[in-house]
Amino acid sequence: MKEYVYADNAATTRLSNKAFECMLPYLQNEYGNASQLYSFARSPKKALKEARQVIATCIGAQPSEIYFTSCGTESDNWVINGAVQQHLPIVTSSIEHHAILRPCESAKRCGCSVSLLPVTKEGIVLSSSVKEVVHSSCGLLSVMYANNEIGTIQPIKELATIAHENGWLMHTDAVQAMGHTRINVRELGVDMLSASAHKFNGPKGIGFLYIKEGVNWPALIKGGTQENGLRAGTENVASIVGMATALEENVISICENESHLAHLEEILISNLSRSGIAFYRNGAENHIKGNVSLSFPNRSGESIMHRLDLKGICVSTGSACDSKETQISHVLKAIGLEEMLAKGTIRISLSKYSAEHDMMKIVQVLVGILKEESVN
């Protein structure tokens, strides 16, 4: 198999060895339906309970507040569709993931009030912008914890306070942040939070939605009693166990991981700066470590991505969750990035498994590609 330098961890991450090992028993031996009453179901039922407790502990929640879903997109859709069912006005930001924006577009077509907040050139939602639109008796404010394209971290605690002062509920899409920076739902003051396992070294096809106790939210899927009757369907025990294991593993080493990623960022940026290649870094100083959005003036980000791929280096252009989109992303437009920079944007996203020699190879190959293009 060809060796790759994988630098697209904001798109998906490698399954941790520990998570993989913990999943195996529930795929082959302890495969009983956790909803059944016979003894063969006891082990998976116990595993489900323990996984819920682990995840709750990791984010400062109660086990009863954790609802398992298939992914972050499902969790986000559950939140927006629930607001629509209750006829709540929705306020969100202009740089949200499409898992929020697309359901909001549908909500608007159904007659629901939807407002999009502007952001600064660093991609930050200002509290003053929120105060201008969050002022009716009840509604939903949904702002992502960290942006998937540029890594900017939002002032969620401050925004949640504004929401609650006006009688609104606060949701945050924490898919890019979960397992990569410390998150405590009680300290943040959020009412709902979305997460997806494959973004923090867990398996694909599993996620969760935190719903604060006392928040009465409509069911997503009806037909069974699973997830307190709010999300019916036989539980994916193996993946749930893998998700809990991976999250706990990352939370335990979160300071170490953040320090490692900050170090790798420094190597990447400093060596690229010394190369003489012109570039601009997008995002804010307060960002998810390892998420590096770079714009090269008058270049093609798509061309750079493909040429890096030929050299065994995986990066993305714009949002990697939708690789068919080749136009300038809505995020880069929202931060007001000039077209000549926006078209030449790539995202390099690192992980705890990334190494210093990976950074040196990325810089070496990237600089070679850009200098060759300049000559031609």
Catalytic residues: 321
**Separation of alpha carbons 316 and 328, rounded Å:** 13
**Separation of alpha carbons 31 and 44, rounded Å:** 7
State how far Cα 42 lies from the chain centre. 33
Backbone φ, ψ for residue 358 (5° rounding) = -65, -40
At residue 159's C-alpha, the angle toward residues 215 and 99, to 5°, is 70
**Separation of alpha carbons 241 and 246, rounded Å:** 9
Identify which of 217, 244, 239, 236 has the alpha carbon closest to the alpha carbon of residue 228. Answer: 217
In the chain the first and final C-alpha atoms are separated, in Å, by 32
- Write the DSSP symbol of residue 328: P
Report in angstroms the alpha-carbon separations of 169 from 110, 181, 213: 21, 23, 13
Backbone φ, ψ for residue 230 (5° rounding) = -95, -20
Q: Strands of 207-211's sheet, edge to edge?
A: 66-69, 207-211, 192-196, 169-173, 140-142, 90-93, 114-117
One DSSP character per residue, 92-152 reads EETT--HHHHHHHHHHHHTT--EEEE---TT-PPPHHHHHHH--SSS-EEE--SB-TTT-B
